[in-house]
Chains A and B, each alone.
Chain A
């Protein structure tokens, strides 16, 4: 089968069709990947603008700029956009661009489903963003949509529910596609334990998506019927329980946070060996660690609700399982450090962001451990300590690795090198400002400042002011990122095929920029080095 496998000859004729219809009807993984990534970048600035409004209101105590209802809408929409509109689509975009190239395939397994999964996103977010302009305003009950509060949402309520359904369908479609691609389209010789870690982390992410998003769909469906059809899932008056929503929601919600971060582990596991010029330390233990994290993610959900009034056995069980996650996560962090040990390191921008990830994500991991300990969580719950924790793992974790991945693979995609000096500026501006932004929030939380409130007691004023200044600098620094990307797409120093002299993997054997169809014929099995190397 190997020698005669080439692309159906009819398809060579429509290399990169031109015009608008190319983007609307495309079945090409690179086109769709680009659309995902551009969409994600646009949403990053919409969600980011909302964060800027939040930091503006919190710059000083008292109500200055927006009314509390609108503030709550900003908090809710910022979270929904950043999770469902930025990080998830961005990872699917990277999966689209990279997985076929990494496994030696011509394209994704189900190209039309792929196009469908993408095109849902702009429509689903139109549905959600529309609510900013309707009477009663956008949803303001928090992205976790807890009843009974969320049931008080006005006209925006069904828009919120349907947007979540719609986005869930998109993610499930994308995940099905990735799994079918990896299990069915690998080149001969590309065995499972030769897969790059980015592919492995995506296999497990895909599984988490398919297992958890339907549960979210079920939960929001129950909200919908509770509001409009008289059911009593979350009403004690009918025998239900509002706490039940929290259980079902977090059964989705905890796997979801690993959906956001596992591909980041894959990206960092590709970048650090490249710039340390050493093979990844402990490849197989990395695979098993990711699988272990994914398994644990299904049995820790109630650590998000320690203060809700659970039986003691529940508090203890969910505390122990939560702390257990530190073990496989520790394996990964130590493996990245061991990979760098005695390596011939250089510090190009992707490496800087990957190192920033390792250090700052670990800080987020440690605050997560603190939150996982039930008795002390009673102090931290719903304070800015939680906000600081999840922004360390999501901004300096997921977003940093997304930025690192962009710098790392952009030359392969565009055929040009980005501007290294500007890249370094971007890193240092971001890293200094993001810590000014989020580190003081730990102190605010420990001192008792609650989340999701537009006003605060005057003793929190200094740290909030510092945090807001950090936030605006961080936000502005990201404009530099867009400038660097646009500049790189339009021109720049020609990139070689391998791009980075320490890079390994099939995607670097293709030309820069990569051809429209990745592998017309399967790659020579001898070029497959494998993750262990």
Chain B
């Protein structure tokens, strides 16, 4: 790899062990999780080993890519490939969330009313749980067998509203950081990123506090019938994505402080910013459909 970046040349990266090592890491994680489900805690060391291996992969694989990028090996065509890859990846994430939003929609519009006897569900209601009345939010599930009641839902205009503000603001700060990067104002870049990371951490902490409130005070748990299931799976996967996004932003902040990125060449920054905006948009959907209406 004697020649430095030349945008007019095709570039095919060198062979790498990381793809194989990362599949081994994921295999160990899946194996460990499956063992843990089957035989309990005895299987968890395998799981932990898998995660440690995955951590090594993250540091190693991204490290190689960062070094290659900083050494100017990538040309503009590689940059476009990376961008397309990230956009399609985000689209796949959108479809993952769509499945859970679909489940929420189906439960609210179809299954709960049907069990309550609406539409064609008259016989269903009579033969299964004649006392059951359809409602949303569904505080008491049709059957007490296996599922629990809860007192009330988390209102939209408390913590969720402030979390909305936090995420919207963080979308602003990351864009402000991007402007700083383009204008070569490194201070603005670093302050903007640091603020975004901070807002991400505050969001996750507030969500954690809210989960404790739900579990401890309201009796709202994963076991609380379909409301609890959709509530925790949607907000839980979102919270996981915010945590990942915050971690990614922290890496970008660290790289910015080391002097990486130029006004023309900063795919990693933009990829993470896109991801952050995606997480933001999903939250708006959650705020409207899970908390508000």
Chain A interface (Cβ < 8 Å from any Cβ of B): 1, 4-11, 14, 17, 21-22, 24-28, 105-107, 109-113, 115-116, 119-120, 123-124, 126-127, 155, 157-159, 162-163, 165-166, 169, 172, 175-177, 179-181, 183-185, 210-215, 217-219, 221-222, 225, 228-233, 235-241, 243-244, 247-248, 251, 309, 311, 517, 520
Contact = CB atoms under 8 A, between A and B. Distances in A.
Contact of A159 (B8, B11, B20, B34): B34
Nearest to B96: A214
A26 B246 CA distance: 32
Contacts of B20: 24-25, 115, 119
A232 B112 CA distance: 12
Interface string B86-119: 0011011111111110110011001110110001
Given A111-B12, A112-B13, A244 B107 contact: yes
B96 A217 contact: yes
Contacts of B2: 9-10
B84 A179 contact: yes
Given A179-B88, A232-B225, A27 B107 contact: no
A221 B147 CA distance: 19
B16 A27 contact: yes
Given A26-B15, A240-B226, A116 B23 contact: yes
Interface in B3-47: 3, 6, 8-20, 22-24, 26-27, 30-31, 33-34, 37-38
If over half of A's interface residues share one DSSP class (helix, strand or loop), that class is named, otherwise mixed; here it is helix
Given A158-B34, A212-B95, A244-B111, A116 B142 contact: no
B81 interface: yes
A176 B93 CA distance: 13
Contact of B27 (A127, A185, A222): A127
Contacts of B8: 1, 4-5
A322 B100 CA distance: 25
Given A26-B15, A210-B88, A210-B95, A231 B228 contact: yes
B76 to A, nearest CB: 10
Contacts of B284: none
22 contacts: A7-B9, A7-B10, A11-B1, A106-B12, A111-B12, A115-B19, A119-B20, A120-B26, A126-B27, A165-B30, A225-B229, A232-B147, A232-B228, A236-B143, A237-B147, A239-B111, A239-B112, A239-B141, A239-B225, A239-B227, A244-B106, A517-B12
Contact of B222 (A115, A163, A230, A251): A230
B176 to A, nearest CB: 30
Contacts of A107: 10, 12
A126 B27 CA distance: 9
A76 to B, nearest CB: 17
Given A123-B26, A184-B81, A247-B106, A116 B111 contact: no
B102 A7 contact: no
B142 to A, nearest CB: 6
A244 B103 contact: yes
Contact of B107 (A106, A213, A241): A241
Given A106-B10, A215-B102, A240-B229, 10 more contacts: A109-B81, A123-B23, A157-B37, A172-B92, A184-B81, A213-B92, A232-B228, A233-B107, A238-B225, A247-B102
Given A120-B26, A211-B91, A236 B227 contact: no
B262 interface: no
B12 A239 contact: no
Contact of A184 (B30, B77, B145): B77
B240 to A, nearest CB: 12
A233 B92 contact: no
Nearest to A26: B15
A456 to B, nearest CB: 33
Nearest to A179: B88
A27 B226 CA distance: 46
B116 to A, nearest CB: 9
Given A5-B9, A25-B17, A240-B107, A214 B88 contact: no
A250 B85 CA distance: 26
A7 B158 CA distance: 58
B80 interface: yes
Contact count band on B:
35 or more
Contacts of A120: 23, 26
Contacts of A166: 26-27, 30
A362 B2 CA distance: 55
B23 A110 contact: no
A211 B131 CA distance: 41
A159 B91 CA distance: 27
A240 B16 CA distance: 46
B120 A251 contact: no
A127 B31 contact: yes
A9 B4 CA distance: 11
B66 to A, nearest CB: 14
B23 A180 contact: no
Nearest to A116: B19
A249 to B, nearest CB: 10
A96 to B, nearest CB: 13
Given A214-B96, A231-B229, A176 B34 contact: no
Closest 7 CB pairs of A and B: A218-B99, A239-B226, A116-B19, A25-B15, A237-B143, A231-B229, A241-B111
A468 B81 CA distance: 49
A84 to B, nearest CB: 15
A227 B228 CA distance: 15
B54 interface: no
B106 A241 contact: yes
Contacts of A177: 85
Contacts of B202: none
Nearest to A226: B229
Contacts of A183: 84
B138 interface: yes
A214 B38 contact: no
A488 B35 CA distance: 44
B265 interface: no
Looking at B24, B223, B226, B227, the one whose CB has the most chain A CB atoms below 10 A away is B226
